[in-house]
Amino acid sequence: MSMGRYAASTDPEAGRDGDGAVLLRSPSGATARVSLHGGQVVSWKNDRGDELLFTSSKAIMKPPKAMRGGIPICFPQFGNCGTLERHGFARNRMWALDEEHPGLSRSDSGSRSLVDLILKPSEEDQKSWPHSFEFRLRISLTKDGDLSLVSRIRNVNGKPFSFSFAYHTYLSVSDISEVRIEGLETLDYLDNLSQRERHTEQGDAITFESEVDRVYVSSPNVIAVLDHEKKRTFVIRKDGLPDTVVWNPWEKKAKTMADFGDEEYKQTLCVDAAAAERPITLRPGEEWTGRLELSAVPSTNCSDHLDQPGIM
């Protein structure tokens, strides 16, 4: 990627919580907004200004609470499968601009479409999870407006550690009943609504008419989410992340969530690139990389994108 062609700027009012944010802009006019709280992408808009990620109207925008929407980073734990807070602590921490790998510097802040962030554990983090790591996150927009996230986690500890991970991606959809997912058919999945029982997907495509919370294991690196009403397809490409999590709370659970509107389940679908079934283990000095790339294309063109290989 050429680093001198795209615009980026810091926006101290972004996120409505005063934590500071970075605004990325591609030549096509697409934008992405990244909050330093959680290292979280909180907005991704196409060249027409359409918001492609969902954020709840009831989202809590004040740390330490994670914001309901965008793309929270789940690390070092996904879900409740462990001793830490749900989805781990990375989404609730303040990240810093990575000075060693500067994607955005004061001298040329008008010329880049990427930002490099870094998270290191605090003393408090190490009380609950006693491991030393460096988590580097690069968020970028391609010239066509595709959104890319690359996470690199290095063990700087003297002993191995294991973790699970997910890009908890809230896609904005017109109506959940008009959406289907292609690419996960015939796969095994763990059903979180029934004590992680293992099942095999039977449908030709996944559609929605009730609450869903599943981990599709050993999933392909390219998946499509088709929104019939908007005639838009999200193409999800991933690398280093073997699983795909699919979640929608539906009506009953939505009403129990304080930071989620009662009817908002109709407007979003979470499709997460994840390492959830089996933890990733890093020996001292080892580094893991997990990549996600999101494209939003007219549904008539999506077959061309699905034929392309996964990102590397």
Domain residue spans of the chain = 15-102+109-307
- Options 2.70.98.10, 3.40.190.10, 1.20.1630.10, 2.40.50.140; which CATH number does 15-102+109-307 get? 2.70.98.10
pLDDT at 160: 96
Q: How do beta strands 212-216 and 222-227 pair? A: unpaired
Answer whether residue 109 shows pLDDT above 70: no
* pTM higher than 0.85: yes
Range 87-100 average pLDDT: 85
- Residues whose CB is less than 8 angstroms from the CB of residue 244 and which lie 6 or more positions away in sequence, other chains included: 184, 215, 216, 219, 223, 236, 238, 271, 272, 273, 274
Of all residues in the chain, what percent carry a pLDDT higher than 90?
69
pLDDT tens digit sequence for 36-45: 999 999 999 9
Answer whether residue 16 shows pLDDT above 60: no
Per-residue pLDDT band at 110 (split at 50, 70, 90): very low
Per-residue pLDDT band at 57 (split at 50, 70, 90): confident
Q: Smallest Cα–Cα separation from 294: which of 249, 238, 220?
A: 238
Answer whether residue 108 shows pLDDT above 50: no
Spatial distance between the Cα atoms of 229 and 207, rounded to a whole number of angstroms:
14
Q: Of the given ranges (61-65, 126-130, 191-195, 234-238), which has the lowest mean pLDDT? A: 61-65
Range 217-222 average pLDDT: 98
Range 91-112 average pLDDT: 64
pLDDT at 136: 98
pLDDT at 63: 67
Spatial distance between the Cα atoms of 36 and 22, rounded to a whole number of angstroms:
8
Mean of pLDDT over the chain? 86
Answer whether residue 303 shows pLDDT above 60: no
Per-residue pLDDT band at 191 (split at 50, 70, 90): very high
pLDDT at 7: 46
Answer whether residue 118 shows pLDDT above 80: yes
Range 27-56 average pLDDT: 95
Answer whether residue 188 shows pLDDT above 80: yes
Answer whether residue 82 shows pLDDT above 70: no
